[in-house]
Structures are given as structure tokens and as C-alpha cells.
Amino acid sequence: MSNTLKTALPGGFKPEGRHLWRPYTQMKTAQPALPVVSAGGVRLNLADGRSLIDGVSSWWTTVHGYSHPHIVGAICDQVERLSHVMLGGLTHAPAERLAARLAALAPGDLDHVFFCESGSVSVEIAMKMAVQSWINRGVHGRTRFVCFRGGYHGDTIATMSVCDPEEGMHALFAGSLPQQIVADLPQDSESTARFEALLDAHAHEIAGVVTEPLVQGAGGMRFFSPETLRTIRAACDARGLPLIVDEIMTGFGRLGTMFACEKAGIVPDVMTVSKALTGGTLPLAAAIASRGMFEHFWRDEASAALMHGPTYMGNPAACAAANASLDLFEREPRLDQVAQIEAAYARLLPPARDIPGVVDVRWQGAIGVIEMPGLPELDALKSGFVEAGVWVRPFGNIVYLMPPYVISQEDLEHLIRTTVAVTRAWAEHHFGAG
């Protein structure tokens, strides 16, 4: 099917489909993208007049819903006053204030905030911090990272190298990626022993360990226990290895606490945040370093400075948006709303367990998951959701929900029930009626 629409759609929107190269998309065969003309609350308004309940918060970002007036107001005020200024040699109140607030919110002594514009880059910066922290101490040859099967940390070259080697793009980009050390998550005594043996076998070359906390997101929404995260922290402590915890998906309430690390009671050496940081309005990310990590860079020699500086780092409008988002976490009951979403999953997701072929149904915080044996004819399933008025984006072998925290009980129940019903109808077609 050609994805070139010749006619103008309402609102003057003309998706020509020829010049815009879309993400993870085979442009030759893909169905046309749905034109969105506006969005408010939890609803996406399409050019053809339909509206969809967003069940995935626009790639896990819009936790306060779309166009929250407090964030929109803060951005507009800031853009009028100072829309951008370089952070080299200059500073501004929105970045200073946001850094201080993030330092206060983040667990333990995570006190030093380095801004950038995307999650992947924040992970790259965390990795550079780890590598350079050794160089600054005169220790050479520590350049590799230990990461975990099932993990996801971004799409850039270095972050691809710490993603799951099978799920990720390793095979495709083999040869151009740094070779990292991939471990299974230490979930029992046997896997813990293997993890620790791996750390010891590569002792002289490891720069640090990278993990998502308590849930591997893009790797398939796989939950793991706080105990596992504590095991990873303890193994790093015993060997003096920096631990990078990637809270890009979990940060800002996703699992019911502000950061997932809190649930395990651990403090990383560097924590990365992005996605919900600006409430899904403007791109912004940060690598937040502990006092100990920062001290490795606190030297008289200029050469010991952290060698990084993205052009748009700490953009004032993005920082104003993030400050406004944090205001909303203070003023409105966001974490209670996450608890209500979790309670609705507990009531309404279990019936999905008898969907033909279903492998697992699970939930935690704002994340609800129906795991299937696979998702053949994914386009048909995706279209089924749109026809039913919900925006749900299954991937890999899972159908999952991660709605904005502000979703009303009524919309939430409708979203969950619709998701289960559409998945069931599709599964009955593909896996038989049981």
C-alpha cells in the first residue's frame, strides 16, 4: 500500500509520507502513520476527527497527560524570557533550580546533575563518567561494561552495545559495537555465583556495571526483585565498581515510588533519567552522579574535567518544563494515582489469563503486561486497538499498558477492558478459541 496521501486532511495536515523517515519503520511497506492534530488529557485527537485514549503515554513520557496547563504555562513564560543559552561559561535559573531539585529528590548522595537531550545520550555520559573516573585515578584498561541479558539502554552505538545481545541490534551492527560483558540477572544463588565469577574473571578491564532497576522495559517489561538489584549493588561494592542505574523508564513514579532504586534501598553511582522528566513535553535527560563519582573529577588538572558538553544541554525551556512537572508531583497525588492504576490492573487484568496462547499476565505500578507466545500479524492487532479507540503499541511478544498517571477511573477501566478484549479477539483468531 502506498503511504502517500494526496489529499489534505482537516487542520491543514498533509502527511505526504515521502520525506519524513519514521522510527523502526520499513517505509516501503508500513501502513500510513496516523496524523495527530492535538492532544489533551489522555486523548490524542486525530485529523479525521477520531480521538484515542493513549495507553502508552507517548513512549512512556506524558505522565500528567497532554497539554497540562501548568507545564504549558511554564514553557511559554520561559521561551519568552530566555528560550536558549549555552551552558558553557553561562548558567540560568531553570537549570540551577532543576539540578538542585533533582539532587534533593534522587536517592542518597546523587547530587551532581549533568544535562543532555536524550536518554541514550545520558547513558553514554554515565558510561563516560565511569571510564574517565578510572583514568583520572591513573588506572588504565578499564573500558568494558557488564550489562544484562534482556536490558535496553538506547539506540546509539555505545548504548546498543549494552542492550540485550539477541533482542537488540547487535547482530545487525556486529563489528561496529564495543564488545561488552553480558550477564544473566543474578536472580538465585546459581546465577549470582555466575555473575560474580564473571566480574572476577574480567576484574582488570571492567569500567562499570549498567542495569535498569526492577523492570527491563523495552526488553519486554520483565520485572525482577529488589533483592536482585541489591545483589548487583553489593557485588559492585565488593569490587569497587561503579554501578549505573538507568531510571529512564522507571523514574518519576512508574513503579509507585519516585525512583525504582528506592524500592530496593540502594544508591547507584550514576543514575540516568529522561522520558517523564519533562512530563512528555520537551526533550531533556540527565546523568546524576554520586558525590564519590563527582570527586574523581574534582581536581586541579583541567584534563580531569568530564569531557562532554551537548550543544543544547540544560535548555531553559526544557528545564522549566521539568521544574513544572516536579511541581505537579508535589501538588497533585501522582504516586497515589499510580497505586490506583496498579489496583485497577489487579482487578481487570487477571481475566486475560485465559486468552488463548497467553504466556503470562503481570503488572506493577503503572505497567500492565499481557505476554503472548509471539505477535504474528502485529499490524492487524495494532489496527484492532485503533478501531476500538485506544492507542496501544504491542512489541516483541507483549501487549502492555502504561497510561498517563492522571487517567480517570472510567477511562482506565475502559482502556484495560478494551485492551483485553481486542487482544482476546485477535488471539482467538491466531491461537484458536482455546
Which residue, 290, 362, 287, 319, is CA-closest to 78? 319
DSSP letter, residue 84:
-
Contacts (CB under 6 A) with ligand PLP, residues 275-294: 275
- State the amino acid at position 25 in one-letter form: T
Task: Kindly write out the interface string for residues 186-215 of this chain, putting x where it contacts ligand PLP by CB under 6 A and - elsewhere.
Answer: --------------------------x---
| Closest approach of ligand PLP to the CB of residue 218, in Å | 5
Q: Which is nearer to ligand PLP, 134 or 405 (CB)?
A: 405
Burial of 22 (0-12, 13-18, 19+ CB in 10 A): exposed
339's CB contacts (< 8 A; 6+ apart) are: 256
Q: Is residue 334 a contact residue for ligand PLP (CB under 6 A)?
A: no
Among 119, 186, 279, 280, binds ligand PLP (CB under 6 A): 119
Taking CB under 6 A as the rule, which mask of x and - marks residues 140-159 in contact with ligand PLP? ------------xxx-----
* 243 CA to centre of own chain: 18
**67 annotated ligand binder:** no
Q: Which is nearer to ligand PLP, 132 or 274 (CB)?
A: 274
Residue whose CB is nearest to ligand PLP in the complex, by number: 119
Residue from 61, 118, 231, 423 touching ligand PLP (CB under 6 A): that is: 118
Strand order in the sheet with 398-401: 360-364, 367-371, 398-401
User: 275 a known binding residue?
Assistant: yes
Distance, in Å, from the CA atom of 375 to the CA atom of 271, rounded to the nearest integer, reads: 33
Supply the DSSP symbol for 33: P
Max Cα–Cα distance, the chain, nearest Å = 70
Size of the site for ligand PLP (CB under 6 A): 15
Site string for ligand PLP, 217-256 (x = CB under 6 A): xx---------------------------x-xx-------
CA 142/CA 347 separation, integer angstroms: 49
3-state SS class at 406:
coil
Positions marked catalytic: 24, 152, 246, 275
In the complex, the residues that contact ligand PLP under the rule CB under 6 A are 118-120, 123, 152-154, 212, 217-218, 246, 248-249, 274-275
